[in-house]
Structure 1
């Protein structure tokens, strides 16, 4: 896993080195945390490619990039891992290809030559890459199927600039104007749905997108080599537990391919405990299991992790992480890159800082909740559809009665129904994870900002595509795979881990497993697809009964961060500074009066205050402060 950045000129630029090579070189220095093992640069023909390497596979200098192939005809910069590269290498060797390294990078280029634009369909992995064919004068950009690895692109009449992180565009003399629609979406969701970004003239490459720029005719073409919608509802039979077991075992086996030690962050939840059983089966005592000890007991899960580790005879290394502080909040926002209001970025960052002292690679459980419906909001959506034949007001009254009977978990549903009425489009399951509807969020946007669109239309369009092969409820339950997962959860994991030179691998997001689950969308109402019951059943088969029962029945924790406590204690000084009248007046993208009123109500502990909105604005204010300082990249 690495960091990549580059410039492709579209026409002759006399001062190319001064305008682009030197700023790119400076950006690479700032990007060192994404790849401290090597810095590589190549420049010729009005193209400059830069790479930062975190050595995982083929630790020799032969794997350094930019990587040249076939007498320098092909040059690549690549961020990620191809887990099945050894099998592909054998297949390609039989077809006449010769290899001089042990790296997966060389295999990518051989696959590109052999299979053309279909080459990515041969890969099992996570990647963002750029290939320059010097003979054909073509530049190819692409990402993995589910958007695990980032790639941002700026394009005007002179150049195309790409980067693993959006902040590094500040190294160049290009306009970077904030998009008010993205601010609106961020305040509503806590993340910015791709392919849009916080800047008007920069976009993300979509997951599974293949973008080709032809320098001969100065034209760009885009296509997708994989489409999630193609797999929805294709199976008439639910997968057996043994089939899910086999797919997960295969996925973990691929993700143990490395020339460095691989660890597992063992929280003692269903996902990490299940991954521990596969890792132990496949790697035995080589497994390095880590548990995080937080002084804040609301974040601590160590007791569960110790019991899981003990049941398998695993050595469990306890990581001691720092307390939440203004410094690590500021660093988390910096490494978050775009505005990201997921408060779990801070503990994730602190974990990464600690784990880097032990391993370069960890397995992570992202994707399990989205595939096997582990979040509460999936249950809320099922309740929502169950109550769909009565009015919102009647539904709220009914839920009031149910709540009064002791089912307090539905209280959140009851309160949320009141705000759902303000959505103009069906946004599926995101109605529950959103902070406010776009319509209500508009009141917090600066009065001089012109808004043109919100995420409602995009999410509604995704739902319509799913509904070509699935019902409304099933479509809604799949929406997170295109939105929340790639643009919040995977961003958090990639940015916070790579900030500390640690690679995170996600076995639950192997595309073979994803395809199999999507194919069974017609069975999402069945018991095994409720609250991760597939995974609970697997735990019972793979752990002692008492331990499996304890893990299966424990409440889902995740990082339920104490945001209110942080704002009033650990982060009180910086929150007072960012919400000060002077600082709010300097930010044209927020309605200063509304935000100031909200902050004052929060300080007074007024009932009904939206704490998530407060936190989200807090994060945006710090991000904007760093944006104004060009993230330290001033020339």
Structure 2
């Protein structure tokens, strides 16, 4: 687990001072070792930098940049390759001699032996850069699930890349200007999906892709294209599916316990993290460390709601006999400083503040000497963990009924406000609409009318979002609606949001975050199972529950689903209220021609002042956090439009 940077200049020599400054800004990613590589060739000048967090083979044998035996290949790398021992056996048979126990050396030899095909063989999380002297080329690559980040800038003369945006921004070629298309996507989803970046000219390498710079041409090539696979005909019943899930997940967790340093679990006491903890506790020879987070909000109802995780985590830890640690995030003035610090660490804003919880657990883990943390992110999207998947199946049944739109419209307009009214309205808005519109109905943070007031432009934003979702859903356009939603959630919510927050929050703490549910074997298997088989009635994740019901306590199996969240609404109404009012005003958006500052103020102030009767349910909390995170970020980065 490390941080990497690089500059490839086709015109002039790489400035080592800039390269060193880029490294310094991400030193938290690799406090154990560092190194740079510089070389001038007839084709280009190259500089590579590495910051190392030692997880496998803690000796200097794992130093990077790492060269192969002839010195023709140079590698900098961030991540873990979980199948590296299997690859190592094969490579040693091909007479590659190892000088360390690192997976870095396995990557180096895999590229030397298999070339660009090596990325298809990797099971793990990684972002890497390879300098290939023989072929006079530079290769960048990123893992299938985008667990490890890689930002880059290319202007036809220079390729600049880094694990984090703040490091990339030190280069004088990059101007602090806002990308309007990325902004539209952020305001819609509350995060910025690849390949977009909020900084104009900067991109994120797409997950499952590699790039080759050769002869002055930069090519972007996928090595993994996700889609819904044909179900395995040999798996005829749910029992067989559950057995396969258990065997595969057991193997993934065992593999991801690979470490020469202590490993712990982020434990919420929910189904997913408890399964990982239960598997790990059986595999670990030493007592397993588990970590949870609680909140002090000053509001008893909110504290009870958001401390369910810590309550259940304690019960699970007692059952599994782990070394359990809990951290409390207090409702005091330090929360503002922490919020600002972590939003900067995230590189790009995200709407919901659960990243504070991950950071708090990561810091506690570091204090306890634990350098690796496992998380349950990805399970809901892979195994049918959200009620809207069941809702999508129900929606398809209603769509078979002709002439239903007008009755739904009428019912939506005359029914009194209630949960039933909300469901009828949701059905009316989705009925026989394209699936990208249905998806937006689930996830968009603003109603179109609200967004049009905040950013008074043409319909460019709508077209950007539509084009992006159409492209995302294209590989599964013939699938059932529920399968399309789950597929999009996996590619967007997990790859582009969850993985951003866990990488930045663990790495700023110099801790490695791992996500066993996103192991290649789990993802490949789950994509062969239709969502309709992952439910039983209204019960979510039935197959996963069945797979582990013999080792999980009933209070976990029967626990109602709750999101992994922080008390953002309580904070906006309490300790952060005056702060939010001071941020979401006209002056904050002055000079940013994209926004109507008065509209932002008139949108946010009624809710923040307790005058929220004119809002639809949920819109203010979500959208105001969206705007607040963006406003703080714009000021921190001094961005212009």
Per the normalisation by structure 2, the TM-score is: 0.89
Query: Aligned partners of 1:309, 1:620: CA distance in 2, in Å?
Result: 37
Kindly tell me: are residues 442 and 311 of structure 1, through their superposed partners in 2, closer, same or farther at Cα, counting changes over 3 Å? same
Query: Aligned partners of 2:66, 2:542: CA distance in 1, in Å?
Result: 45
Contact 1:578 1:584 in 2 (8 A): no
Q: CA deviation at 1:284?
A: 4.3
Choose which of 467, 478, 495 in structure 2 pairs with 1:457.
467
Which runs of structure 2 are paired with 1:115-134 in the superposition (5 Å)? 115-134=114-133
Query: Aligned partners of 2:541, 2:130: CA distance in 1, in Å?
Result: 40
Q: CA deviation at 1:434?
A: 2.0
- Bigger shift: residues 308-317 or 354-363: 308-317
Kindly tell me: are residues 566 and 418 of structure 1, through their superposed partners in 2, closer, same or farther at Cα, counting changes over 3 Å? farther
1:39 and 2:34 aligned: yes
Provide, for residues 177-227 of structure 1, a one-character-per-residue CA deviation record: whole Å limited to 9, x for no partner.
21112112111111112111112311111111021111xx21222221122
Query: Aligned partners of 1:424, 1:520: CA distance in 2, in Å?
Result: 24
Q: Residue 443 of structure 1 aligns with which residue?
A: 453
Query: Aligned partners of 2:638, 2:189: CA distance in 1, in Å?
Result: 23
Kindly tell me: are residues 387 and 439 of structure 1, through their superposed partners in 2, closer, same or farther at Cα, counting changes over 3 Å? farther
Which runs of structure 2 are paired with 1:186-197 in the superposition (5 Å)? 186-197=186-197
Query: Aligned partners of 2:372, 2:422: CA distance in 1, in Å?
Result: 38
Contact 1:28 1:51 in 2 (8 A): yes
Q: CA deviation at 1:136?
A: 1.5
Contact 1:191 1:339 in 2 (8 A): yes
Q: CA deviation at 1:329?
A: 0.7
1:299 and 2:306 aligned: yes
Contact 1:377 1:433 in 2 (8 A): no
Query: Aligned partners of 2:191, 2:310: CA distance in 1, in Å?
Result: 30
Q: Which runs of 5+ in 1 are unaligned?
A: 631-635
Contact 1:235 1:519 in 2 (8 A): no
Q: Residue 258 of structure 1 aligns with which residue?
A: 259
Q: Residue 308 of structure 1 aligns with which residue?
A: 316
Query: Aligned partners of 2:541, 2:416: CA distance in 1, in Å?
Result: 25
Q: CA deviation at 1:376?
A: 2.8
Per the normalisation by structure 1, the TM-score is: 0.90
Q: CA deviation at 1:88?
A: 1.2
Query: Aligned partners of 2:37, 2:57: CA distance in 1, in Å?
Result: 21
Matched residue count: 615
Query: Aligned partners of 1:235, 1:27: CA distance in 2, in Å?
Result: 51
Choose which of 502, 510, 519 in structure 1 pairs with 2:519.
510
Which runs of structure 2 are paired with 1:37-436 in the superposition (5 Å)? 37-45=32-40, 46-174=45-173, 175-214=175-214, 217-229=215-227, 231=229, 233=231, 235=233, 237=235, 240-296=241-297, 297=303, 298-300=305-307, 301-323=309-331, 325-358=335-368, 359-388=370-399, 389=401, 391-392=404-405, 394-395=407-408, 412-417=422-427, 426-436=436-446
Query: Aligned partners of 1:234, 1:363: CA distance in 2, in Å?
Result: 29
- Bigger shift: residues 32-41 or 101-110: 32-41
Task: Name the SS for the 1:356 alignment partner.
Answer: helix
Choose which of 25, 29, 51 in structure 1 pairs with 2:24.
29
Q: CA deviation at 1:386?
A: 3.1
Q: Residue 300 of structure 2 aligns with which residue?
A: none
Query: Aligned partners of 1:556, 1:526: CA distance in 2, in Å?
Result: 14
Contact 1:185 1:192 in 2 (8 A): yes
Kindly tell me: are residues 274 and 340 of structure 1, through their superposed partners in 2, closer, same or farther at Cα, counting changes over 3 Å? same
Contact 1:321 1:354 in 2 (8 A): no
Choose which of 522, 547, 557 in structure 2 pairs with 1:552.
557
Kindly tell me: are residues 443 and 425 of structure 1, through their superposed partners in 2, closer, same or farther at Cα, counting changes over 3 Å? farther
Query: Aligned partners of 2:447, 2:572: CA distance in 1, in Å?
Result: 24
Kindly tell me: are residues 311 and 522 of structure 1, through their superposed partners in 2, closer, same or farther at Cα, counting changes over 3 Å? closer
Provide, for residues 390-441 of structure 1, a one-character-per-residue CA deviation record: whole Å limited to 9, x for no partner.
645634666899999xxx7666544545665898872454531221356752
**In angstroms, what is the RMSD of aligned CA positions?**
2.8
Kindly tell me: are residues 248 and 70 of structure 1, through their superposed partners in 2, closer, same or farther at Cα, counting changes over 3 Å? same
Contact 1:211 1:223 in 2 (8 A): yes
Task: Name the SS for the 2:58 alignment partner.
Answer: coil
Task: Name the SS for the 1:340 alignment partner.
Answer: coil
Q: CA deviation at 1:380?
A: 3.2
Contact 1:79 1:149 in 2 (8 A): yes
Q: CA deviation at 1:578?
A: 1.0
**Runs of 4 or more consecutive aligned structure 1 residues displaced over 6 Å after TM superposition:** 396-404, 421-425
Contact 1:198 1:339 in 2 (8 A): no
Q: CA deviation at 1:448?
A: 9.5
Which runs of structure 2 are paired with 1:494-573 in the superposition (5 Å)? 494-521=503-530, 523-524=532-533, 527=536, 531-543=540-552, 547=553, 549-573=554-578
Query: Aligned partners of 1:588, 1:421: CA distance in 2, in Å?
Result: 37
Kindly tell me: are residues 107 and 439 of structure 1, through their superposed partners in 2, closer, same or farther at Cα, counting changes over 3 Å? farther
Kindly tell me: are residues 525 and 503 of structure 1, through their superposed partners in 2, closer, same or farther at Cα, counting changes over 3 Å? closer
Kindly tell me: are residues 442 and 49 of structure 1, through their superposed partners in 2, closer, same or farther at Cα, counting changes over 3 Å? farther
Provide, for residues 499-547 of structure 1, a one-character-per-residue CA deviation record: whole Å limited to 9, x for no partner.
111111111111111111111237547539951112222332113xxx2
1:477 and 2:475 aligned: no
Provide, for residues 318-351 of structure 1, a one-character-per-residue CA deviation record: whole Å limited to 9, x for no partner.
3344546110110121011112112212222222
Q: CA deviation at 1:269?
A: 0.5
Query: Aligned partners of 1:196, 1:438: CA distance in 2, in Å?
Result: 22
Kindly tell me: are residues 448 and 521 of structure 1, through their superposed partners in 2, closer, same or farther at Cα, counting changes over 3 Å? closer
Query: Aligned partners of 1:402, 1:514: CA distance in 2, in Å?
Result: 43
1:467 and 2:477 aligned: yes
Q: Residue 633 of structure 1 aligns with which residue?
A: none
Kindly tell me: are residues 467 and 459 of structure 1, through their superposed partners in 2, closer, same or farther at Cα, counting changes over 3 Å? same
Q: Residue 490 of structure 1 aligns with which residue?
A: 499
Kindly tell me: are residues 395 and 138 of structure 1, through their superposed partners in 2, closer, same or farther at Cα, counting changes over 3 Å? same
- Bigger shift: residues 255-264 or 345-354: 345-354
1:621 and 2:631 aligned: yes
Provide, for residues 564-587 of structure 1, a one-character-per-residue CA deviation record: whole Å limited to 9, x for no partner.
321232223431221233223243
